[in-house]
Structure 1
Amino acid sequence: MPKKNTFARRTPTDIALHVWGILVFIYLFVPIAVIIAYSFNNGKVLANFRGFGLHAYISGINNDIIVSSIVTSLQAAVGTAIVSTIFGTLGGVALARARRGAWWALGLTAILGLTLVTPEIVDGISFLPWFVTVGVDWGITPLNNGLVRLIISHAMFSMAIVTFIVRARLAGMDTQLEDAAADLGATPWNRFKDITLPIAAPGILAGALMSFTVSLDNTILSSFVQQPGYTPWPVYIFSAVRVALRPEVAAMSTVMFVLTLAALGFVGFVLRKAGGNATEIIKTMAA
């Protein structure tokens, strides 16, 4: 049988939307492609291309300040993902199991939603005196550590993301599985561990990845709560732009971009193995 020409059956509107989608992707990713290309610049200044090579990567790896800022960002991102995933999972399960119209669920949803829409500049101004008061005046010394400050401040925002993703994942779950397990004598912990947690696992993993990437990208809040010796990578780049953007910045940013893509690909692979199709994976990632 001859193959059907599906392209010929598309309306002008469908073709226009496909073209528009391609243009949007080009608009989003061309700047990233430019940075990746210029990361192989052997010149001293990023905008002045002086030959193709790996000098920027070698110089960046040998720069202790750059390596320290990248390590700080990765440590803060991992810590943020752990804290946000733990509390966000508990919050997402609680909201998914809440009775319709429960006052505490409405209140929690409102508070979490408020953290997502509050400008980061406001969060930074709020966190800075709070850390000083609690850490210095009250003598709670762990809050004087720069890495702890970054994790706590980043987790406040990321926790809401994980909560909503996990709640969306569990929204359509059939509670009869848990009820049947309870009838068979399973304890609440065993029901959570053996039934709820495996079902929510793709959403938990997606939330952890989102927390990780959001923490890596946080600049405004990090610039307020950072301390000497714990300068994250985005703050370092923001400071470097004021003088001259060097190829080392593009090289190390490319490395972190590749790491983020690898993490995203891993999460997509896990979600795919969990039985989700492309639409379900997108819905899970977007809550």
Structure 2
Amino acid sequence: MTRTSPRPFSVRRLPGFTAIAITCFVLLYAPIVTIVIYSFNAGDSVALWRGFSTKWYTVAAGNQIVQEATLRSLVIALWASGISTVLATMAALGTTRARNYRGRTLIYMLINQPLMVPEIVTAVALLIFFSSIKIATGYSGLGYLILAHSAFCIPFAYLPIRARMEGMDLALESAAADLYATPWQTFRRITLPLMAPGIAAGAMLAFVVSLDDVIITEFVKSAGQDTLPTYMLGQLRRAVTPEVNAISTALLALTVLLLTVFFILSGRNTARS
């Protein structure tokens, strides 16, 4: 008598899994789809459909305040992603390319702490810290927002870089050292090219996080320093028009594009590892 092997466990066979999964996807994406659809509304209402039109994209593109907020958001995100990626790369090198030492787990915890602490707590702490500096120096430029975003984005850039470096074989670096390469030559010719996809993925993820941030920006910014998300938040407190939907759709498209590139790079990292 032959004994049949049991079928492997699959969560999809659980009762109600399909219905629950579909419900979750609908609740997650139905509001986003609604925003995208109503961004093409010809009328002034965000709730009543008056026909198809792209005029609100034209209105948003011609709005000088939107242009300034967009440029400001891009400048802050570029600087923040650059600074946080450099610091995250240095942290990844120090935690993956060194012999095991006491306190490494504590360092991991400190680097990833902004991911665990509620963002409102980080925002209040940054507000208090930078307010004292503003009073002492009298400077109230974008530097505070750049530094605040950089500090918050470090763990987002660190995770893919560290994951990439942990999957790299140390044999190549050891072979370079055996061939009398200096540490700098080994880093420039071996380590850096191998970790470049992880660095690019970390930079893109940090850029997206900085570009979309609202809470920290709202607490740290000075007067006249609205970014695109905070401008949209201010508009929602006033008269809401489909212009906000158009801006949201454009920002969503940019975020999806960057995240798609991020996941492609992450997939290549996994395949190469």
Same fold by TM-score greater than 0.5: yes
> Cα deviations across residues 138-177 of structure 1 (Å, max 9, x unaligned)?
x274xx21x2222111111210222222112111322111
Q: Which amino acid aligns with 1:66?
A: V
Give the distance between the partners of 2:11 and 2:213, measured in 1 at CA. Answer: 43
- Mapping 1:1-287, distance limit 5 Å: 13=13, 17=17, 20-100=20-100, 102-137=101-136, 139=137, 141=139, 144-145=140-141, 147-271=142-266, 274=268, 276-277=270-271
> Cα deviations across residues 210-245 of structure 1 (Å, max 9, x unaligned)?
111111221111111112222012211222212232
State the Cα distance separating 1:265 from its structure 2 match: 3.0
Asked if the contact 1:73–1:232 (Cα under 8 Å) also holds between the matched residues in 2, the reply is: yes
Asked if the contact 2:85–2:199 (Cα under 8 Å) also holds between the matched residues in 1, the reply is: yes
Give the distance between the partners of 1:45 and 1:189, measured in 2 at CA. Answer: 61
Give the distance between the partners of 2:221 and 2:230, measured in 1 at CA. Answer: 9
Give the distance between the partners of 1:217 and 1:75, measured in 2 at CA. Answer: 13
Give the distance between the partners of 1:149 and 1:11, measured in 2 at CA. Answer: 47
State the Cα distance separating 1:276 from its structure 2 match: 4.4
Give the distance between the partners of 1:269 and 1:124, measured in 2 at CA. Answer: 32
Asked if the contact 1:92–1:165 (Cα under 8 Å) also holds between the matched residues in 2, the reply is: no
Give the distance between the partners of 1:190 and 1:25, measured in 2 at CA. Answer: 49
Residues 12 and 151 (structure 1), Cα distance of their counterparts in 2 relative to 1, 3 Å cut? closer
Unpaired runs of 5+ residues, structure 1, are 1-9
Secondary structure class of the residue paired with 2:112: helix
Give the distance between the partners of 2:11 and 2:158, measured in 1 at CA. Answer: 40
Asked if the contact 1:38–1:247 (Cα under 8 Å) also holds between the matched residues in 2, the reply is: yes
Q: CA RMSD in A?
A: 2.4
Unpaired runs of 5+ residues, structure 2, are 1-9
Residues 71 and 11 (structure 1), Cα distance of their counterparts in 2 relative to 1, 3 Å cut? closer
Secondary structure class of the residue paired with 2:250: helix
Secondary structure class of the residue paired with 1:40: coil
Asked if the contact 1:80–1:152 (Cα under 8 Å) also holds between the matched residues in 2, the reply is: yes
